Amino acid sequence: MALNEILIKGIEEIVQVIKTENNIKNEIIRDDVFSILQASECTVLYYPLDGEENDGCDGCHIEKPVNGRMEQFVFINTNNTRERQAFSAAHELGHIWKVDERLQAKFPQEYFDDEEAVNKFAAELLMPKKLFEEAIEIKLKLMNYSGPKMKNVEMIKLIAYLMNYFFVPYKSVVLRFNELNRLSDKYNDDILIFKDSELLKEIIKAEQYTRLGIVNKLCSMDNLNEYLIKAEKKRVFNETKINNIRKEFDIKQVEESSSDDVVFGRGI
């Protein structure tokens, strides 16, 4: 069920409230979304899942009890491009900040799909409506667009520009067009077919959008080595398993080999 105008407006308002609560001053967040996710009250695991980069898992959020208190965990699939990871991070922030609960409290009589609401939140967080519209108009002017129709290659150039400007994936831009009534969703299949095309790659390369299309396959987790040391001391896992995890995440033990002392303190 598509979100109605009341709910969409509510999500836009919730985005502003959340940005104030978390002291997020950037109008356009781009890859700062990763820092915002790291700073939130959750443990983040970055890991590449092979074969999941097309229609598989982009990321997930779970909440479970740990030592008597509820803890939040987020997974980001780093087998995806960085811009797609950014949207995943924004989506999972929507779960961490309980956007669906805030929206339901704001409109108790309205019914909506939680995932759709969180996706809409991620889109508004990364591609604010007003700024997205302004960016479209700026690019159309540069393209000497007079409307009402546009060739596919020109549309893909516009999408690539917006992908780079807001650091978001191709599909998210197309869906944002739909949401803002700039493109009828009946054209989605015609446009989405170019998502992983050579034409898109050529445009990205020609325009030198160097931040796009990067797959870093990062393996990382907050304080993982600290957890492994504790697990080692408590014999939660055997030494082989712990060493395998360290190898998988490229964690090297740092030895305190230097005998030199460094003076550090107040009033030096």
Over the stretch 21-50, which tens digit does the pLDDT of each residue have? 999 999 999 999 999 999 998 999 999 987
Give me the chain's average pLDDT, please: 90
Q: What's the gap between Cα 171 and its chain centre?
A: 13
Which of 66-75, 194-203, 258-267 shows the highest mean pLDDT?
A: 194-203
Query: Which residues, including other chains, have CB under 8 Å from residue 7's CB and lie 6 or more apart?
Result: 103, 107, 110, 112, 117, 120
Predicted confidence band at 154 (pLDDT cuts at 50, 70, 90)? very high
> 14 lies in a domain?
yes
> 21 lies in a domain?
yes
User: Is the per-residue pLDDT at 257 higher than 90?
Assistant: no
Query: Which residues, including other chains, have CB under 8 Å from residue 204's CB and lie 6 or more apart?
Result: 160, 164, 212, 213
Of residues 268 and 245, the one with the higher pLDDT is 245
Contact call for residues 182 and 157 (beta carbons, < 8 A):
no
Of residues 261 and 184, the one with the higher pLDDT is 184
User: Is the per-residue pLDDT at 225 higher than 80?
Assistant: no
Task: Respond yes or no on whether the N-terminal peptide bond of residue 148 is cis (omega within 30° of 0).
Answer: yes
- Residue 132 φ then ψ, to 5°: -65, -45
> 73 lies in a domain?
yes
Q: Which of 137, 97, 129 is nearest to 17 (CA)?
A: 97
Kindly state the greatest CA–CA separation across the chain: 73
Query: Which residues, including other chains, have CB under 8 Å from residue 254's CB and lie 6 or more apart?
Result: none
> 224 lies in a domain?
no
Q: Quote the pTM value.
A: 0.88
> 188 lies in a domain?
yes
* C-alpha torsion angle, residues 240, 245, 246, 251 (rounded to 10): 180
Predicted confidence band at 95 (pLDDT cuts at 50, 70, 90)? very high
> 39 lies in a domain?
yes
> 200 lies in a domain?
yes
User: Is the per-residue pLDDT at 266 higher than 80?
Assistant: no
Residue 5, token pair as written in the block: 């105008």
pLDDT (0 to 100) of residue 255: 56
Of residues 195 and 258, the one with the higher pLDDT is 195
Q: Secondary structure of the chain: what % helix, strand, coil (to 5)? A: 50, 10, 40
> 106 lies in a domain?
yes
Q: Residue 41 sits in which domain range? A: 5-206
Residue 12, token pair as written in the block: 């836009």
Q: Which of 125, 98, 181 is nearest to 13 (CA)?
A: 125
User: Is the per-residue pLDDT at 136 higher than 60?
Assistant: yes
pLDDT (0 to 100) of residue 258: 56
CA angle 191, 195, 197 (to 5 degrees): 105
pLDDT (0 to 100) of residue 101: 97
In 45-151, alpha helices (H): 82-96, 99-106, 114-126, 129-142
User: Is the per-residue pLDDT at 198 higher than 60?
Assistant: yes
Report how many domains make up the chain. 1
Residues 83 and 160: their CA atoms lie apart, in Å, by 12
pLDDT (0 to 100) of residue 259: 61
